[in-house]
Structure 1
Amino acid sequence: MKLTVYTDYSLRVLLYLASKPDATATITEITDYYNISRNHLVKVVHNLGIHNFIITSRGKNGGVKLARPAEDILLSDVVRTTEADMDLLECFNPKTDNCVISPTCRLKSMLYEGRAAFMAVLEKYTLADAAKPIARSKSGKPVYVTFT
């Protein structure tokens, strides 16, 4: 199973904002930090705003910030919202299932269980858990995980 780049960028935006909870960030700031496409990130930010993960504001002092505390954002909610298709096989979806062995296949249920276990793990963690510093620099400042 592989998450899409869209989900990866969504998680990056949220992690960046969680690391600066009292600040408003700009899309340019985030794209520069992660060295990713501005055009793609604009779409990601728009979608995160629609789904109430972030608040967006325009204008001179505009930008983006978390819509609620990082402790209240489950990683599973982000993945479910940003992944358009969590079907590992065509047989996961009755509308696309053309597999001739589907009626007798045991593999489907095993992979379905695996996907459920993956999501169950993500349901145990919040954005705050993922955004915690992983270490401290020599100066004592926190060092955060980056996805670059």
Structure 2
Amino acid sequence: MRLASAPVPAFPTADLADAFQLSRNHLIKIMQKLGRAGLVQTRRGGSGGATLAHAPEAIRLGDVVRVLEEGQALVECLHPNGGDCMIDGCCRLKTRLWVAETAFIENLNRSTLADVALPAPEPV
């Protein structure tokens, strides 16, 4: 949301981590995921940092959430390996949870990063 908010050349990862009180290592992992998905671009060096790979209007929220939550199942039985569910095979909830998760992403995809861009910080 911050990358969508201001027309600066690039946001240094360290500045983003400080602004949102995140671990720099954690934010670097997030940026790497977003970069592999083609949503952000990163550059090293003095004028380096992160920028959106596309206009904020072209990036759907659900696509961002899907990338960031990849491998994180809503509940254990939705995990790719099926988890250790004792009632798998006769459970009538699993399909409903999968449908709900799909609907959640589809609902988010009705909006873009431009719709939720943070206001630019006030000049100091």
In the superposition, the TM-score normalised over structure 1's length comes to 0.69
Structure 1: state its 5+ residue gaps. 1-14, 134-141, 144-148
Q: Which amino acid aligns with 1:70?
A: P
1:56 match: 42
1:29 match: 15
Contact 2:71 2:79 in 1 (8 A): no
2:105 to 119, 129, 142: 119
Number of matched residues?
121
**How far apart are 1:20 and its partner, in Å?**
1.2
Give identity over the alignment, percent.
40
2:68 to 72, 78, 82: 82
> Cα RMSD (Å) of the superposition?
2.3
**Larger helix share, 1 or 2:** 1
Q: Relative to structure 1, is the Cα distance of residues 55 and 90 closer, same or farther in structure 2, using a 3 angstrom cutoff?
A: closer
2:26 match: 40
In the superposition, the TM-score normalised over structure 2's length comes to 0.80
Structure 2: state its 5+ residue gaps. none
Runs of 4+ in 1 over 6 A off after TM superposition: none
Q: Distance in 2 between matches of 1:88 and 1:54?
A: 25
Q: Distance in 1 between matches of 2:78 and 2:93?
A: 11
1:67 match: 53
**How far apart are 1:18 and its partner, in Å?**
0.7
